[in-house]
Each structure stands twice: as structure tokens, then as C-alpha cells.
């Protein structure tokens, strides 16, 4: 498929270049007068786009018919060019309303055929006033086209490629009664390549084409003879589109961009031969039957036929093709799927079509899922009792995957060795450690209580006795009947102090005080408290980390009232740093200390005169709390 895609792209580029050269040669002769002014060409009826194609094929629907209303404001203006740019002098066509009758059909899930007939219902402007015929109801050039899918499915694949051709039938070549702004005098063709796809919620498409048409100029009244107006000529067209696509809710919303630049004529590849138009579009599908849409757009860089504002409305009868059942969702309908309950792949063999790819590692003709010996070929002498296995030369040992001496048929943990301490209640399994204290259950005398940092040597898996629950074992507690705190002095170790260990917190019984609105510690009021915290840490090497948390009340100086939250956050951070530096200075290792500031976000009392003092606080937490006396 890839060589075909490359050949198609090269053919398209060669065709565009050759037609571009032919168009330049034709431009040397006198151009025709009058051409189809409207530049908007609707996509196939039933598409999720207005101008940049995102084709559908017969796996989506077989046909669609619709109507697109196209309003253009100032699609043709008169002006002059000078050194400062382009200046508009008057509007030749100020308002134009066109109805496009659209039809489309697909077959073989690969070819899309389209048709569109423009009907000019309204034209207003200076040009129309001078030539009354220009404002009459008129039919424009019919367009027929075809696209062929080369790779992927635009509505299902991440990306796809289609190529095709559009052709316009010039009605003015058959009759002189048509207005000069609704029809060309010769055939126009547009070879093009379309890239499109859907990725998650993104529906995207891009198109590249070369419009080949005879050069023509605007028809002006006799009294304006000598004035040169805009021209039409062959051009290169580029379209880009992206949309948010919700398939379940059946809607799509997104922008479209159209860029065109002349390939021939006086303004080829110049600002005055280039147009850029953008559209913001939205589509909705009603019950998989009717497609409706609306769009609004602006013209930024303009040539004749590109309005400064465009509005579009669209409705199409576009019934979705009924999908045959595909139970396993592999893209192969059940009636052709040999394995309708298993996702598989396409195969020329009807008995394997839609079935999973069968893996056969030992290449003995027996798929792995049925092969009892998937890594050993059954050989020339297969075992009749064991599918896919060779006859054994000697009795085979019973399977024991974990190598623990317990055969798999009896092993309750066949993939895990039982180890040096097997579980007496589960054959072939290692013993568990229910309380995660490193002492296995068969020998743990406190099965659901961790031994902690001070295990009892006489009772494996149990912590030492601690009557006052201050996390200091009675054997080392100088005050075993009164909850206290660690202390370097053995005579005071575990005795009441201004600090206590409660759960996962080192609680201080007196607050740490600072100078007002400052991080400077009031040594006189708080030095003893901080010294007690330092003593507790020195006496508890098993406390590996201490987190200092700072809090404030909601007050702040008058000049910071507008940013009180920021001020208090900064103040609490500075106070945490100050306390951390004090502890380091007094012998606590820097790596054991960390900090966190909360500002006034976590009060413990109402933020009023009675609660402010409680909310201004420093707390000490033990982040490694769990199973040891660091809790």
C-alpha cells in the first residue's frame, strides 16, 4: 500500500506542475470576461465539515442529500494599490446568498461520488446596480467529483489517504443568458489529495489540490472601461481542519482554514493573488439520520470571491449504514468471523478468518495455548497422552516451578518457594509476617503487635513492657508509672517534662514564642522548651526524622491586609526555619530535621481574641510513625 501511496503523490504533483505551466502559457493571451465569483465549495453531504473534506465511505453510509446556505459579505470590492498597500473604494458585490444542492453516494467502501449545484438567490452591490441581470435568480456551474480511498478509514483510523478529482461544467459555454459572476466559460478541474483521521476525541483532516481554470477578469460597465478589477486564475489550494468529536453524543466543533494562491497570471504567488479564510464550525447528527451544521468565518487575506464575513447553514439527510454484529469488536462481522467471541485478524482461510494469531514457539504445528510442551517440539515421536510433547526417554519429574521440593500439584504457592520457614498451614508457602515486624508468624508471640524499636528479648515479636505508654520501655523508664519524654540523663529518661511523645507527635506543653511579627525566638520564654525537644531527639536515635510545622493566626500588620494570607505564609516559613536552625545549633543533625509552613490555613481554635494565641503555634511531627517508638 505504501508504494501505491507514494506513486499517487508523485502523480498528483506532476499533474499540478504541468497544468500550472499550461495555465501560465494560456495567461499570455487575452483573458475571458466573467467567471464564477463564489469561492466556497461545500464538502460532500453528510460530512462533519463545511469546506475541508473529511470523506465518508459506504461502511458509514451509502448516500446523502442536503442543502447548504452560503451568505457572503463583500465578496468583490474595487480599490487601488499603491506603496502603502490596498485601499478599498467601493463594493462591487456587497451581499450574496447562494443555496447549494448537494448529493453524495459511496460504493465498495472505497469510492465516494459527489455532486453540487449552486443557485444564486441574491446579489447586491454597485456592479449589480449597473448590470441588473447580475442580481437575478441564477444557477451556477454544477460540480461533480469522485474520491477514492487509498489507505485507512477516515472515520475510524488515526490517519487515512484519499485522492480524487472535481470537475465543474461551465453553463455559460452553453448559454449567454447567465450573469457574468455565476459561471465560468470553460471547464474547471481540481485534482486533490485528502488526509483525514480520528484520534481519541480529535477529528482532523487536511487537503491539497490544484484548481485548473482559464484566466478571466471581472466584467465591468462600459463607463468603467480602463479600470482593472480582480481576476480568476489557476491556483494551489490548501485546507486544514481540527474538531472536538464526540461520537457517542454525535457532535463535532472546531475550526477550518482555507488558503489559496494563484499559480498563473499577473498576481501569481503574490499577496493580491492569495486568499486566507477561516471558519468556526459545529455539526450535530440527529438519530443517525439527519446532519445539521452552522459556521461563521472571516476572510483575512482576500482575492475576488473571498468575503470579509461568511455565514453557512447546512442540513442533510444522511442515514448511517446499519452495522452488522461484530461481537468481539475486531472489525470482522460475526457472520464471516470463524472466532466471533475472540478478537482476531483477517485471513484468506475461512476457518481462521477473524481468529487470533496462533503462537507456536516450538514450531511443531500445535498452538501454544493447546501445547503441553510449548517450548519443546513434539518431534517425530509425539506423546499420544500429552499433546505437543515428545515421548519421554525416562520418567519425568513432577513439575515444581519454584524449586522448593513441593510438586506444583500440591503446592499452594507454586510460584513462590516455601523458604527456610514454611507456613505449617499452607503447603509449599513461606510463613507470613502479619504485623510486618520481621518476626515470622510461627515464632511471633505477639502476632498482630509489632515488636517495635525495643523488642522484648524474652518474647520474640513482642515489644518491651511500657505501662505508661510513653513509648519508653519500663526497663529504661526512670518514671515507669508516669508518661514522660526521652532525655539523655538516665535519671530523667521517661519522666514528665515540657515535651511528651503522643502517637505520631512530639507534643510541647508550652508554646514556642517569637518576637511580634518576627521569626526571632523569644529565648527567655521558649529556650527551655526547645532544649527539651533537643534532649528528646538526642535520647531517641531511633527517631530518624522530625517535621517542624509552623502555623499563624489570621492577623497581620495593617500594611499587609490586602495580602494577609501571603504574609502569614511567609511568616510561618521563616519561623520554621528559625526553629530548625536553633535545633541544629544545639546539636541535632541537620538531616533529621525538615519543615512545613501552613500560614493561617489550619487553625485549631476560632480566629478571634480568645483563639488567636492557640492558632499561633509550632508543632513537631514524626513522619516515620508506624510500628516503632517513632510514632
Task: Convert the pLDDT of each residue in 582-616 to its tens digit.
Answer: 999 999 999 999 999 999 999 999 999 889 889 99
Band of the pLDDT at 474, cuts 50, 70, 90?
low
Per-residue pLDDT reduced to its tens digit, 498-513: 888 887 888 898 999 9
The reported pLDDT for the residue numbered 67 is 97
The reported pLDDT for the residue numbered 140 is 92
Direct distance between the N- and C-terminal alpha carbons of the chain, in angstroms, rounded to an integer: 67
Least confident of 174-178, 213-217, 389-393: 174-178
What is d(CA 451, CA 462) in angstroms, rounded to the nearest whole number? 4
Least confident of 18-27, 118-127, 148-157, 187-196: 18-27
Q: Which residue has the higher pLDDT, 211 or 354?
A: 211
Least confident of 194-203, 251-260, 413-422, 472-481: 472-481
Q: What is the mean pLDDT of residues 96-123?
A: 95
Q: What is the mean pLDDT of residues 401-415?
A: 84
Task: Please give the distance of CA 545 from its chain centroid, rounded to a whole number.
Answer: 40
Task: Please give the distance of CA 81 from its chain centroid, rounded to a whole number.
Answer: 46
Q: What is the DSSP string of 493-517?
A: TTS--SEEEETTEEEESS---BSTT
User: How far is the CA of 346 from the CAs of 212, 330, 343, 352, 431, in angstroms?
Assistant: 42, 9, 10, 8, 50
Could you tell me which residues come within 8 angstroms of residue 555 by beta carbon, excluding any fewer than 6 positions away? Answer: 564, 612
- Do 175 and 139 form a contact (C-beta atoms < 8 A)? no
Per-residue pLDDT reduced to its tens digit, 192-242: 999 999 999 999 999 999 999 988 877 766 555 555 556 778 899 999 999
What is d(CA 541, CA 161) in angstroms, rounded to the nearest whole number? 70
What is d(CA 251, CA 483) in angstroms, rounded to the nearest whole number? 69
In 3D space, the residue among 438, 429, 431, 430 whose CA is nearest the CA of residue 460 turns out to be 438
Q: What is the mean pLDDT of residues 252-278?
A: 86
- Do 251 and 216 form a contact (C-beta atoms < 8 A)? no
Backbone phi, psi, residue 242, to 5°: -145, 140
The reported pLDDT for the residue numbered 101 is 97
- Do 492 and 475 form a contact (C-beta atoms < 8 A)? no
Least confident of 6-15, 142-151, 281-290: 6-15
Q: What is the DSSP string of 542-557?
A: T---EEEEEE--S---
Angle at 62 between CA 60 and CA 67, to 5 degrees: 100
The reported pLDDT for the residue numbered 585 is 94
Residue 175 CB neighbour total at 10 angstroms: 8
- Do 215 and 27 form a contact (C-beta atoms < 8 A)? yes
- Do 429 and 423 form a contact (C-beta atoms < 8 A)? yes
Per-residue pLDDT reduced to its tens digit, 49-65: 999 999 999 989 999 99
Query: Which run of H or of E encompasses 537?
Result: helix 523-538
Least confident of 102-111, 317-326, 488-497, 563-572: 488-497
The reported pLDDT for the residue numbered 304 is 86
Per-residue pLDDT reduced to its tens digit, 124-139: 887 654 444 455 678 9
What is d(CA 358, CA 365) in angstroms, rounded to the nearest whole number? 10
In 3D space, the residue among 181, 203, 2 whose CA is nearest the CA of residue 92 turns out to be 181
Domain range list for the chain: 2-317, 499-621
Mean pLDDT over each residue of the chain, to the nearest integer: 84
The residue assigned the cell 480599490 is: 79
The reported pLDDT for the residue numbered 129 is 46
Could you tell me which residues come within 8 angstroms of residue 43 by beta carbon, excluding any fewer than 6 positions away? Answer: 49, 50, 51, 52, 53, 54
User: How far is the CA of 288 from the CAs of 179, 203, 291, 319, in angstroms?
Assistant: 40, 18, 8, 6
Strand partners, 505: 502, 621
Q: What is the mean pLDDT of residues 325-352?
A: 80
Q: Which residue has the higher pLDDT, 23 or 349?
A: 349
Angle between helices 564-585 and 523-538 (to 10 degrees): 60
- Do 519 and 571 form a contact (C-beta atoms < 8 A)? yes
What is d(CA 552, CA 613) in angstroms, rounded to the nearest whole number? 9
What is d(CA 420, CA 434) in angstroms, rounded to the nearest whole number? 17
The reported pLDDT for the residue numbered 53 is 97
The sign one gets for the Cα dihedral 587, 588, 594, 597 is: negative
In 3D space, the residue among 310, 307, 312, 311 whose CA is nearest the CA of residue 91 turns out to be 307
The reported pLDDT for the residue numbered 17 is 42
Q: What is the DSSP string of 70-90?
A: EEEEEEEEEEEEETTEEEEEE
Residue 410 CB neighbour total at 10 angstroms: 11
Yes or no: domain 499-621 corresponds to CATH 3.30.1330.60: yes
The answer to whether residue 537 scores a pLDDT higher than 60 is yes
The reported pLDDT for the residue numbered 11 is 47
Q: Which residue has the higher pLDDT, 457 or 340?
A: 340
- Based on the number of CB atoms within 10 Å of its own CB, is 241 exposed (0-12), middle (13-18) or buried (19 or more)? buried
Yes or no: domain 2-317 corresponds to CATH 3.10.20.30: no
User: How far is the CA of 233 from the CAs of 26, 96, 167, 261, 467, in angstroms?
Assistant: 10, 21, 15, 9, 99
Per-residue pLDDT reduced to its tens digit, 298-313: 998 888 889 999 999 9
Angle at 94 between CA 93 and CA 96, to 5 degrees: 80
The answer to whether residue 468 scores a pLDDT higher than 80 is no
Per-residue pLDDT reduced to its tens digit, 564-585: 999 999 999 999 999 999 999 9
User: How far is the CA of 537 from the CAs of 434, 587, 619, in angstroms?
Assistant: 30, 10, 15
- Do 378 and 389 form a contact (C-beta atoms < 8 A)? yes
Angle at 116 between CA 115 and CA 121, to 5 degrees: 165
- Do 360 and 376 form a contact (C-beta atoms < 8 A)? no
Amino acid at each position: 500500500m505504501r508504494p501505491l501511496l507514494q506513486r499517487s503523490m508523485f502523480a498528483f504533483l506532476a499533474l499540478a506542475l504541468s497544468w500550472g505551466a499550461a495555465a501560465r502559457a494560456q495567461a499570455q493571451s487575452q483573458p475571458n470576461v466573467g467567471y464564477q465569483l463564489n469561492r466556497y465549495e461545500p464538502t460532500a453531504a453528510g460530512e462533519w465539515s463545511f469546506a475541508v473534506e473529511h470523506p465518508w465511505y459506504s461502511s458509514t453510509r451509502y448516500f446523502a442529500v442536503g442543502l447548504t446556505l452560503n451568505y457572503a459579505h463583500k465578496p468583490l470590492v474595487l480599490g487601488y494599490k499603491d506603496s502603502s498597500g490596498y485601499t478599498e473604494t467601493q463594493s462591487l458585490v456587497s451581499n450574496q446568498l447562494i443555496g447549494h444542492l448537494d448529493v453524495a453516494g459511496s460504493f465498495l467502501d472505497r469510492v465516494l461520488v459527489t455532486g453540487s449545484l449552486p443557485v444564486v438567490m441574491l446579489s447586491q452591490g454597485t456592479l449589480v446596480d449597473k448590470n441588473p441581470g447580475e442580481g437575478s435568480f441564477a444557477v451556477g456551474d454544477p460540480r461533480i467529483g469522485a474520491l477514492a480511498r487509498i489507505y485507512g478509514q477516515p472515520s475510524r483510523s488515526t490517519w487515512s489517504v484519499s485522492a480524487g478529482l472535481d470537475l465543474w461544467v461551465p453553463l455559460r459555454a452553453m448559454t449567454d443568458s447567465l450573469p457574468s459572476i455565476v459561471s465560468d466559460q470553460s471547464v474547471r478541474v481540481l485534482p486533490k489529495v485528502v488526509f483525514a483521521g480520528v484520534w481519541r476525541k480529535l477529528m482532523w483532516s487536511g487537503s491539497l489540490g490544484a484548481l485548473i481554470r482559464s484566466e478571466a477578469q471581472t466584467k465591468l460597465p462600459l463607463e468603467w472601461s480602463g479600470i482593472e478589477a480582480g481576476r480568476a486564475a489557476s491556483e494551489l489550494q490548501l485546507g486544514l481542519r481540527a474538531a472536538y468529536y464526540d461520537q457517542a453524543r454525535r457532535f463535532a466543533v472546531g475550526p477550518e482554514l482555507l488558503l489559496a494562491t494563484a499559480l498563473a497570471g499577473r498576481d501569481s504567488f503574490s499577496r493580491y493573488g492569495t486568499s486566507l479564510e477561516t471558519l468556526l464550525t459545529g455539526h450535530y447528527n440527529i438519530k443517525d439520520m439527519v446532519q445539521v451544521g452552522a459556521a461563521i468565518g472571516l476572510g483575512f487575506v482576500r482575492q475576488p470571491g473571498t468575503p470579509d464575513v461568511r455565514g453557512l447553514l447546512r442540513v442533510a439527510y444522511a442515514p448511517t449504514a446499519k452495522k452488522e454484529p461484530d461481537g468481539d469488536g475486531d472489525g470482522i462481522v460475526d457472520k464471516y468471523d470463524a472466532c466471533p467471541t475472540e478478537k482476531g485478524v483477517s485471513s484468506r482461510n475461512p476457518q481462521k478468518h477473524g481468529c487470533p494469531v496462533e503462537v507456536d514457539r516450538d514450531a511443531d504445528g500445535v498452538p501454544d495455548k493447546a501445547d503441553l510442551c510449548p517450548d519443546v517440539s513434539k518431534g517425530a515421536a509425539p506423546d499420544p497422552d500429552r499433546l505437543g510433547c515428545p515421548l519421554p526417554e525416562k520418567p519425568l519429574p513432577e513439575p515444581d516451578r519454584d524449586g522448593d521440593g513441593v510438586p506444583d500439584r500440591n503446592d499452594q504457592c507454586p510460584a513462590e518457594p516455601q523458604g527456610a520457614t514454611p507456613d505449617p498451614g499452607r503447603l509449599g508457602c513461606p510463613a507470613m509476617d502479619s504485623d510486618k515486624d520481621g518476626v515470622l508468624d510461627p515464632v511471633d508471640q505477639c502476632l498482630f503487635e509489632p515488636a517495635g524499636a525495643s523488642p522484648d528479648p524474652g518474647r520474640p515479636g513482642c515489644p518491651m513492657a511500657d505501662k505508661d505508654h510513653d513509648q519508653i520501655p519500663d526497663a529504661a523508664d526512670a518514671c515507669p508509672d508516669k508518661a514522660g519524654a526521652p532525655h539523655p540523663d538516665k535519671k530523667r529518661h521517661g519522666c514528665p517534662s515540657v515535651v511528651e511523645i503522643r502517637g505520631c507527635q512530639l507534643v510541647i506543653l508550652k508554646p514556642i514564642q517569637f518576637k511580634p511579627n518576627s521569626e526571632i525566638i523569644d529565648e527567655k520564654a521558649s529556650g527551655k522548651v526547645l532544649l527539651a525537644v533537643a534532649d528528646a531527639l538526642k535520647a531517641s536515635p531511633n527517631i530518624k526524622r522530625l517535621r517542624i510545622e509552623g502555623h499563624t493566626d489570621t492577623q497581620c500588620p495593617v500594611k499587609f491586609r490586602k495580602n494577609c494570607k501571603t504574609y502569614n505564609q511567609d511568616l510561618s516559613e521563616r519561623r520554621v526555619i528559625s526553629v530548625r536552625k536553633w535545633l541544629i545549633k544545639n546539636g541535632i543533625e541537620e538531616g533529621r530535621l525538615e519543615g512545613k509552613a501552613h500560614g493561617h490555613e489550619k487553625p485549631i481554635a476560632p480566629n478571634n481574641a480568645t483563639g488567636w494565641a492557640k492558632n499561633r503555634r509550632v508543632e513537631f511531627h514524626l513522619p516515620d510513625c508506624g510500628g516503632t517508638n517513632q510514632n
